[in-house]
Amino acid sequence: MKANTKYQNQTVLVLGLGKSGFNAARLLLKLGAKVTVNDDQEQGDNPQVGQLRELGATVITGSHPLSLFDQDEFAYLFKNPGIRYDNPMVEAAIARDIPVLTEPELAYEVSESPWVSVTGSNGKTTTTTLITLMLNENRQQGQAYAAGNIGNPLSAVVQKATSHDVMVTELSSFQLLGITTVKPKVAVLTNIYEAHLDYHGSRANYVAAKMRLVQKQTADDFFVVNWDLPELRELSHQTKAKVVPFSRLGNSEAGAYVKDGQLWFQQDMIMPVADIKVPGNHNIENALAAIAAAKLMGQSNAAIVSVLTTFTGVKHRMQFVTSYQGRRFYNDSKATNMEATEVALKSFKQPIVLLAGGLDRGFTFEPLLPLLKEHVKAIILYGETKQLLAQTAREARIPVIKIVDQLTDAVPAAYAASASGDVILLSPACASWDQFKTFEERGDVFIKAVQQITE
C-alpha cells in the first residue's frame, strides 16, 4: 500500500456501515483521519461497531442526524454506493461543498497495483472473474485480486496488493459516481441496457456514470468495449485511451472477436467457441472481453484456453446447480433486470420452467413477450411483480402460470410443472429487495429449496 497523507488529521464522515463503509473507515483510520461513521439502521450487537470504536472512530447508528454537520467540519464524505444522492445527508454535504466519494476512490489513492476495471449492465462479475482467473493462470510473480462490486471490499484488498499484483475491480454505476482520480490501465465496458433508472433518474445519467470509468485514462491505457452495440462504439470517442473492441458478431478484428467458430485476439486464434463451458451468447461476449483484457496485460493464449475450458460459471449468474430426474436446475438470481433474463432465456434450447418476480420498480414486462413465447413452457411467479408478470405470461400464452407467495413455494411448484429434459431456471427479471436483502440471499434460498427436492 502506498503512503498517503491526504487524509491525515482530516475529519471524514463515512455514510453507511456495510462492507465498503466498514473497510473504508478502517483504512481512513489507518491513514490518520478523524472518522465518524453513520448508519440509519440500529446495529444491535454488530461487532464491527465495537471494532471501529476501539480503533478511534465515532459510530452513530439508528438515524441520519443532520446535526452532525453543525458539530464537525467534514473535509470528505465517503458514502455507501447504494445511498442515493437525494439522501438528506448527501445533499447537506453537497450544499457545503464537501466532496462526496465512494470506496474505489480511497482504494485507488493508496494502490500500488495496476487496475483492470470492469463495468456494464450485465456480465460484470463473470468477466471480472474470468480476467482474474486468466491473470493468475501459471503466474510467476504476484497475484491478480478480484475486488469491488464482486463482493471483496477494495479498501481491504488494496492494503495487501503490491506492485507485482493486479487489482481486477468490478465497479458499479453507483460506485463510479463517487470517483475522481481512478485511472484503470485497462477499462472494460461489457454492455449498457436500461438499469437502475430509479437511482440515476434518467438513462443519460446512468450512461454518464458508466463512462466515468474512462475519464482519467490517457493514451497509455486501454478501453475494451463491446463493438456489437452501436451506442458503445459512439461512447468510445469519449476516451483518450486506446480503444480495443470485442465482437461476438465479428464487427471488428482489431481486438477480440469470433470468426469461423473460433475465438480470436487480433491475429491469434485462441480456441473454438464450442469449448467454452458456460452456456449462452452472453458468455461468449464475457469471454471475449476477458480475452482482450488478459492479452493486454500480457497473458498467454495457453493460460486463457485453460480457464475458458474449465470455468463453469459464477454463483448466482447462470450457475448450474444440479441435475435430477432429467431436469437441470440453474440459479440466475443476479438477473435483476429484464435484459439479464432475456439473455438467460436465449441460452437454452430445452423447454424452460421459469421462476421470476421481485421488487416492483414500476416497469411492465412486455419486452419479455417474444422470448416467453419461444422458450417457456411454464412460469412460477412470486413477489411484488407476480401479477404484472402473470399478465405478460398470459399474453405469451404460456400453458402453465402459477402464482405463489414465496420463492420457497416456487421451487416445488416448478418441479411439479416440469418433465425430464426441461431446464428449471431462476431468472427473476427483478431486484430482490421485496423479500431478500440481496440477490445472493435469494440465490442461496433457491439452491437450498432445490436441495430439499433433489437430495
Going by the annotation, the residues of the binding site are 120-126
What dihedral angle (degrees, nearest 10) is formed by the CA atoms of 66, 72, 78, 80?
A: -30
Rounded CA-CA distance 99/109 in Å is: 15
Rounded CA-CA distance 295/299 in Å is: 5
Q: DSSP assignment of 66-105, as one string? A: TTHHHH---SEEEE-TTS-TTSHHHHHHHHTT--EE-HHH
Q: Are 122 and 282 in contact (CB under 8 A)?
A: yes
Q: From residue 103, give the alpha-carbon distance in Å to each of 61, 278, 283, 391, 454.
A: 20, 32, 29, 41, 41
Burial class (CB in 10 A: 0-12, 13-18, 19+), 220: exposed
Rounded CA-CA distance 360/53 in Å is: 38
List the end-to-end C-alpha distance of the chain, in Å, as a whole number: 47
Secondary structure letter of residue 21 according to DSSP: H
Q: Please, where are the H alpha helices in 158-280?
A: 173-176, 197-200, 203-211, 230-235
Binding-site positions for ATP read: 120-126
Q: Are 142 and 166 in contact (CB under 8 A)?
A: yes
Q: From residue 269, give the alpha-carbon distance in Å to each of 242, 249, 255, 403.
A: 22, 16, 12, 49
Closest listed residue to residue 247, CA positions, set 207, 275, 289: 289
Q: Which residues contact 153 (CB under 8 A, 6 or more apart)?
A: 19, 20, 22, 23, 24, 103, 147
Q: Are 292 and 116 in contact (CB under 8 A)?
A: no
Q: Are 66 and 90 in contact (CB under 8 A)?
A: no
In the Cβ-directed half-sphere of 237, how many Cα atoms lie within 13 Å? Answer: 4
